[in-house]
Amino acid sequence: MPEKEKDPQDPLREILAMLEREIAERPPTIGVVGVSGVGKSSTINSLFRTSLATSGTVARTKEFEDVDLSVRFNAPLAADSSEKSSGPGESPVAPQTNAPTRVLLRVVDAPGLGEDLALDDRYLEQYLENLPRCDVVLWVMSARNRAIALDQMYLQKLSRFYDKIVFGINQVDLVEPMDWHTGYNIPSREQEANIKAISQDRLEHLASAIGRKPALLYYSSRYGYRLEHLFKALLDACPENRRWIYAGLKNFSHLDFIPAETQQKLVFRATRRLAQMLSKSDHR
């Protein structure tokens, strides 16, 4: 009886299964930290479509909380083993396609520092205990608060994690003169200029605190503004030996982060349609 011909994709499937086991045993993990009241939980809700409890008046998060999400992961698999080499002396090359699967992405929501001096020591112990298991850490700050002495103080106590921290400035929609263009989902010109000035100021203060230029992005969790840039920065900041995992998570569009009610606004839809038309004309 002739031996059954082996499927050339079997080794690739075995590799994919091995990758899935690795991710299951140690899922990609993003920590979200910072002082109290800057919108850490709302940032997680906006980035990952979760429903963590939030409050504008009292601190909600009292312990480190793991939020486990099922996300799309794209791993390369050969599409067609019948493809031959294109010339003498060349190795056969099969075209690559993305074979999507679902994997676990763990987001760690931290209690806010600075809420109460009586709680700070316990919270810092939790930070020191939990941050080592995070591949990358988002340190959230508020655009409304010019004083960052608390951030600088806590950063000095968490210096061992500088290499994995990305800084985010949230609540830019509340920057003066607070005239956000909701139809276009962008700040006014004056507001944008103020946001950039705040961002530059924070960059300089953070650099003096940690002794290097930090990765820093501004955004609005309320409106989903620039969340795609923030998410990409988090993926890019992951350690080299884990980068292959996060590379498979980069399958997103900026629309994934914009609230549905904003997308439904007439001006926004018209602007998007115009951008699509201009893009098509550029490629003719």
Structural domain harbouring 128: 11-79+93-282
Question: What's the domain count of the chain?
Answer: 1
With respect to residue 3, please indicate whether it lies within any of the assigned structural domains: no
Residue 24: per-residue pLDDT: 76
Residue in 245, 250, 239, 167 with CA at minimum distance from that of residue 205: 167
With respect to residue 217, please indicate whether it lies within any of the assigned structural domains: yes
Residue 211: per-residue pLDDT: 95
| End-to-end CA gap in the chain | 57
DSSP class per residue in 68-81 = EEEEEEEEEEES-T
| Contact between 20 and 103 (Cβ < 8 Å) | yes
With respect to residue 70, please indicate whether it lies within any of the assigned structural domains: yes
DSSP class per residue in 168-218 = EEE-GGGSTT---BTTTTB--HHHHHHHHHHHHHHHHHHHHHHTSPPPEEE
CATH number of residue 240's parent domain: 3.40.50.300
The pTM score is 0.76
What are phi and psi for residue 112, nearest 5 degrees? -75, 130
Residue 105: per-residue pLDDT: 85
Q: For residue 140, what are its two tokens? A: 């959230």
> What is the C-alpha separation between 148 and 144, in angstroms, rounded?
11
With respect to residue 207, please indicate whether it lies within any of the assigned structural domains: yes
Beta strand pairing status for 165-170 and 136-142? parallel
Q: For residue 203, what are its two tokens? A: 């960059």
Residue in 81, 84, 90 with CA at minimum distance from that of residue 13: 81
With respect to residue 85, please indicate whether it lies within any of the assigned structural domains: no
pLDDT tens, per residue, the chain with 284 residues? 556 666 666 776 776 777 777 777 888 899 999 998 898 988 988 888 776 655 444 345 678 989 888 777 665 443 333 333 333 333 333 334 445 567 788 999 999 998 888 889 999 999 999 999 999 999 999 999 888 999 999 999 999 999 999 999 999 999 999 999 988 899 999 999 999 999 999 999 999 999 999 999 999 999 999 998 998 899 889 888 888 777 777 655 656 666 666 666 656 667 667 767 766 665 55
**Owner of token pair 């655009």:** 143
Residue in 46, 216, 44, 33 with CA at minimum distance from that of residue 130: 33
Residue 266: per-residue pLDDT: 55
With respect to residue 229, please indicate whether it lies within any of the assigned structural domains: yes
With respect to residue 4, please indicate whether it lies within any of the assigned structural domains: no
The C-alpha angle 260, 262, 265, rounded to 5 degrees, equals 110
With respect to residue 160, please indicate whether it lies within any of the assigned structural domains: yes
